[in-house]
A and B are shown apart, each in its own frame.
Chain A
């Protein structure tokens, strides 16, 4: 069964450093998403992406965040200058317009 994959599974970084989180969505899906979940809290929407551009973004997704689909398979989330409060699980998801499947997540720890 096709699945969304994410790398790395864990990322530890120093405050102020840049990180890139990678995702490979399900191959025939056209809608892509990034979410984050701080430990013990609810899932928070960051951004949705369709047709090679951002379709919606939340208040969390400020100028420090960017997304890219550099080739036909990868979908990346970049955080330019990480802050302590960026520590969370980051989930990528892809959708065919109805069902939306999550990847296993990347646990980001900012020290």
Chain B
């Protein structure tokens, strides 16, 4: 089967750093996506990790450890506009399974 776990909600302060974790259990793993979704909008692609390690893209970085079934999304220099849900999704043989998302609240 497949199971994807991420915290339901997190709160952080503007200008700070936050790490959103995602753990998964699945067979046939091909890669892991992170998306940002603002309320009422479509998910926006942030990253796709296939191999172990850290990938950095501006203020956002994503890490993957396939042996541990673990990923995190790191957001630096938080801005108010980063208030959104962050979705972890696993690519399992071209079937994309989403977690329930982490709602991130940014405080001024």
CB–CB B45/A102 < 8 A:
yes
CB–CB B98/A99 < 8 A:
no
Name the residue of chain B whose CB is nearest to the CB of A33: B96
Q: Which of B43, B44, B48 contacts A43 (CB 8 A)?
A: B43
Count CB-based A-B contacts (< 8 Å).
Answer: 50
In the complex, what's the smallest C-beta–C-beta distance from A3 to chain B, in angstroms?
10
Secondary structure class of chain A's binding surface, majority of residues: strand
Q: Which of A33, A44, A100, A105 contacts B48 (CB 8 A)?
A: A100
Tell me, yes or no, whether A45 is within 8 Å of chain B by CB.
yes
Q: Which of A42, A45, A103 contacts B42 (CB 8 A)?
A: A103
Q: Which of A43, A101, A103 contacts B89 (CB 8 A)?
A: A43
Given A31-B94, A33-B96, A45-B96: A99 and B101 within 8 A (CB)? no
CB–CB B97/A45 < 8 A:
yes
Residues of A within 8 A of B96 (CB): 33, 35, 45, 48, 100
In the complex, what's the smallest C-beta–C-beta distance from A99 to chain B, in angstroms?
5
